[in-house]
């Protein structure tokens, strides 16, 4: 099984490639790369989900995976990831960012559907 650092690093490399695809105007590649990044980042977050003593790493991985879920229009997954992050003990700043992400991004996009 791949470790958290490897999964996170691979996810961030895919995000960089997705950004470059977007800049080239390649929507298909952007979508595929974003989904691949989301899959890896979610897997990394899953590996630390029950390690409540691993803050802020735990909540940062969940926040990152939630942002990617929103990018991929996986709003229910984003809600779950945010909820799981907040169920731990994230630092106040990250907790506030998670709440803002939930309220501003997820809920506004849900209403637009």
CA distance 110 to 9: 30
- Architecture category of domain 4-112 in CATH: Alpha Horseshoe (1.25)
Q: Tokens standing for 8?
A: 């996170």
Per-residue pLDDT at 66: 96
37-46: average pLDDT: 98
CB 38, CB 71: distance < 8 Å = yes
For residues 74-93, average pLDDT: 94
- Helix, coil or strand: residue 25: coil
**Which pTM does this prediction carry?**
0.90
pLDDT digits (tens, 9 = 90+) for 42-56: 999 999 999 999 999
Give percent of the chain with pLDDT exceeding 90. Answer: 86
pLDDT band at 34 (very low <50, low <70, confident <90, very high): very high
Q: Is the pLDDT of residue 86 over 90?
A: yes
Cα separation, 109 vs 62, in Å, equals 19
At 70 the pLDDT is 93
pLDDT digits (tens, 9 = 90+) for 4-17: 999 999 999 999 99
Domain ranges of the chain: 4-112
């Amino acid at each position: 099984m791949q470790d958290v650092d490897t999964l996170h690093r691979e996810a961030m490399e895919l995000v960089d490639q997705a950004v470059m695809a977007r800049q080239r105007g390649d929507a298909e590649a952007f979508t595929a790369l974003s989904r691949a990044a989301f899959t890896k980042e979610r897997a990394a977050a899953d590996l630390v989900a029950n390690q409540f003593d691993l803050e802020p790493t735990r909540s940062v991985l969940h926040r990152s995976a939630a942002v990617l879920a929103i990018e991929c229009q996986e709003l229910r997954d984003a809600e779950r990831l945010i909820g799981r992050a907040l169920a731990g003990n994230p630092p106040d700043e990250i907790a506030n960012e998670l709440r803002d992400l939930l309220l501003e991004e997820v809920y506004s996009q849900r209403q637009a559907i």
